[in-house]
Amino acid sequence: MLILVALIHNISGYFLGYWSSRLARMPEQDCRTVAIEVGLQNGGLASGLALSMGKLATVGLASAVFSPIMNITGSSLALWWRSHSKDIDEDRSSKL
């Protein structure tokens, strides 16, 4: 259940970051950047906080699950957008 919730949270961050940027009429490259930044929340910070609270075995479990999911989904999204970067190049050349 924790894996599913972490995956939904992560994908929601990408989705909301991208579409809120689109609503703000930002350029496509900026929308993609915001999506990655919102989706890649800091799982390492959560682990550090759990460690400093002395609850690494309980509170740290969520960050331990979220960090690999965050890295896999973020890398996958970046690779997918990289293969579709022609859209951004065409957008830039049309504005010049």
Q: Which DSSP string corresponds to 16-85? A: HHHHHHHHTT--HHHHHHHHHHHHS--HHHHHHHHHHHT-TTTTHHHHHHHHHHHHHHHHHHHHHHHHTT
Q: How many domains does the chain have?
A: 1
Mapping DSSP onto H, E and C, the string for 52-66 reads HHCCCCCCHHHHHHH
Percentage of residues of the chain with pLDDT beyond 70: 79
pLDDT at 61: 77
24-28, 37-41, 61-65: range with highest mean pLDDT? 24-28
**What is the Cα–Cα distance from 44 to 67, expressed in whole angstroms?**
7
Nearest to 20 by CA among 1, 4, 39, 46: 39
Tell me if 88 sits within 8 A of 24, measured CB to CB: no
pTM higher than 0.75: no
Domain residues for the domain of 44 are 2-95
What is the per-residue pLDDT for 71?
Answer: 87
Task: Write the pLDDT tens digit of every residue in 42-92.
Answer: 666 666 767 777 776 776 777 778 888 888 999 999 999 888 777 665 555
Give φ, ψ of 61 to 5 degrees.
-65, -40
